[in-house]
Amino acid sequence: MNYSLGTIAPLNYSNYSFHILPAIIGQIKMATLDLDEELLKDEELVGNIKNLDHSIVDIEALLESRMNVDYNSLSMEDKIKHDLLIAFTLNSLYWVYLRLGGIDPTTHSIKRELDRIKSTMDMAKGAMAKKNMLRVDKKAAERFIDNALWTPEDKKRRSQNMEKPNKKIKFDENGDPSK
């Protein structure tokens, strides 16, 4: 599968066919049904198979809901999340498919693809966190700093603005200070 997630660009789903999804899910279900009588007696195994079946149903519902979304109406951030979800889910299902087929997926190219998607997820998470980061109002910060710092020019200005106070103030008969 060729995804354009390396640059966090949106996918155009009209170019991709997802006919493989029902095949993968069908193969996973078939592998769980081909059990011997002896294996059916193992309650832990039967419980795990039931959990797997419920998980497959949940995955199908999730993917169907995500595939029916109007992709063009999504924001760029939602498109990135959507693309990463679809890519990771499909590749993870293919991983399970390979495991059920007896193929070691750690030596298959799917391992590199999953690692690439994970690194892209980290990169997208960092970009989204950076977007939501608090910003500093630089002009306001400069005003705060300028007013808080003392400069020798301030001392000269203050001394020029201050008049020498009259220590003895005389008042006239009306109570007004006289000069």
Q: Are residues 47 and 111 in the same domain?
A: no
Distance, CA of 146 to CA of 141 (rounded, Å): 9
Q: Which two tokens stand for residue 36?
A: 């011997």
- The pLDDT of residue 51: 86
> Do the domain assignments include residue 98?
yes
- What confidence category does residue 119 fall into, taking pLDDT thresholds of 50, 70 and 90? very high
Q: Are residues 50 and 111 in the same domain?
A: no
State pLDDT tens for residues 7-20: 444 444 444 445 55
Question: What is the Cβ-side half-sphere exposure of residue 60, based on CA atoms within 13 angstroms?
Answer: 15
- The pLDDT of residue 113: 92
Which CA distances in Å does 35 have to 20, 43, 136? 24, 13, 63
Which CA distances in Å does 49 have to 9, 15, 98, 100, 115? 37, 35, 17, 13, 27
Q: For residue 110, give the nearest of 124, 126, 93, 123 by alpha carbon.
A: 93
> Do the domain assignments include residue 102?
yes
> Do the domain assignments include residue 20?
no
Average pLDDT, the chain: 75
- The pLDDT of residue 97: 84
Q: Which two tokens stand for residue 145?
A: 């700093």
Residue 128, pLDDT > 70, answer yes
State pLDDT tens for residues 45-104: 778 878 888 888 888 888 888 878 888 898 888 899 988 988 898 898 888 888 888 889
- The pLDDT of residue 120: 93
Beta-bridged to residue 178, according to DSSP, are 170
- Return the amino acid letter for 149: L
Kindly report whether the global pTM for this prediction surpasses the value 0.75: no
Decide which of 4 and 37 is more confident: 37
Provide the domain limits for residue 107.
Answer: 76-150
Distance, CA of 76 to CA of 71 (rounded, Å): 10
Structural domain total, the chain:
2
